[in-house]
Chain A
Amino acid sequence: MSGRFRGRAASGRAISVWLIALLVALVATVQIRSQAEVEKSFAGADTASLAFLIDNLHRANDSLQAEIADLTQKQAKLQSGSDNAADQVLADEANRLRAAEGLVPVHGPGVVVVVNAVGLQAIDLQDLLNNLAVGGAEAIAVNDRRVVVGVPIEQTSGGVTIGGATVPPPWTISVIGDANRLAQAADLMTQQMRTDRRVRQATYRVEADVVIRAVVSARPFVYGVGP
């Protein structure tokens, strides 16, 4: 009886050891597998996306630093306490904002893109203009219609309209900004466009002084309230 009992106890211990060993092996497998999955998810992500982000952040941070330098200069000028200095700062700021908002005629270095196509839609023009904005556009006009974000570009039965006015092709897009960056953007854009069957012509030229005389009308707020 005691021998059978000892035998049962021994086999119970053996099963326990088996179970523990299997559990350890299972835990080890799961652990290594999860580590591998995590690392795989890292490496599986698109490194090109990260490179794109880094490039963008570098450029963005440079622009922000330039803005900080500009604002610091304005602040110092205002702190000088002279009324003339304040008037000068405010007048410069007003001119800069009028240009950004498309309220005044402007000129400067840039590119002129010509796109002749049949069947391009408003969304195609919005994409073109956004590409140029990403490329550093500071002022844009299409067929002598000034465009800033907020000016409606819509598809109607009569074609594409900008601010309610039809802009039939060919589209001549005048852009002011950093000419080198804009040329890169325009080059890539026109190359891509030429692969589109609807596009007959997509070219660009760099100009030292692009003139944009078209302006948008100021729209006072009806619903929005400022600070």
Chain B
Amino acid sequence: MHSRRVVSIFVVAAVALATGFLVAGQVKVQLLTPTNQVARYQALVRSVQELAASNADSRAKIASLRSQIDALEAAAAQRSAATQALQNQVAELRAHAGLTTLHGPGVEVDLADGVPGTDSNAEAGYRVNFKDVQDLVNLLFAKGAEGIAANGRRITPLSAFSGSGGEVIIDQGPAITSPLKLVAVGDRNRMEAALNDPGGLPDIRAREVQFQLQISFIGGPDLVLPAYDSSLDTRHVGTL
């Protein structure tokens, strides 16, 4: 009698387990994507990670080389007044090109993704994209910015903005994504007035309402911008 009970308990347990695995198997069939597709995706992700690491190394090396060159130029300038004058000119030009740090009054603008909408045609509208950064940079420069950085990437006279989906690429840097912080040094009052103007940044304002895209800003008396750490490519340009 006792052994029959034990057997029946085991039978019941085995049936329950089998049912569990059948359910799990069904879920697996429905949800799991083909393994090769996953492997391909993972290979692409690895490539991006490796290239981004190499990118960071190169930018660090450029920053270090520029610093060493600065020191060598300063040493040369000590020996000659003409060299000193040239060095001063170059220092001024480098500052305006964003190749050196800059600090002063300004604004910090925070941009972050909103909430996905129900309309599938407008599905990307809730994400911060490169055009938002481009629009903000253009607005801030037009309203008194003397230097701008986006998530620590300094904007130069030749900066370009690109990206796909919610990824923002500035010049030769890696992709950055929401949340984004733009820091601008310059005429703080004009920039604050422009950011408060409901008529400015029409696309961002519309998506702020539609998707709760987040934009906010705060002024500061002394903000710091990092130096540009990539290539300012003018290989094809000759002066007249």
Contact = CB atoms under 8 A, between A and B. Distances in A.
B38 A39 contact: yes
A136 B105 CA distance: 32
- Tell me if B's interface is mostly helix, strand, loop or mixed: helix
Nearest to A31: B24
B109 interface: no
A115 B83 CA distance: 46
Contacts of A98: 93, 239
B146 A87 contact: no
Contacts of B30: 36
Contact of B48 (A48, A57, A223): A57
Nearest to A89: B73
A136 B69 contact: no
A144 interface: no
A119 interface: no
Contacts of B137: 149
Nearest to B22: A25
A196 B198 CA distance: 28
A106 to B, nearest CB: 5
Nearest to B188: A223
Interface string A145-162: 000111111100000000
A63 B99 CA distance: 16
A53 B175 contact: yes
A5 interface: no
B12 A63 contact: no
Contact of A10 (B5, B44, B174, B188): B5
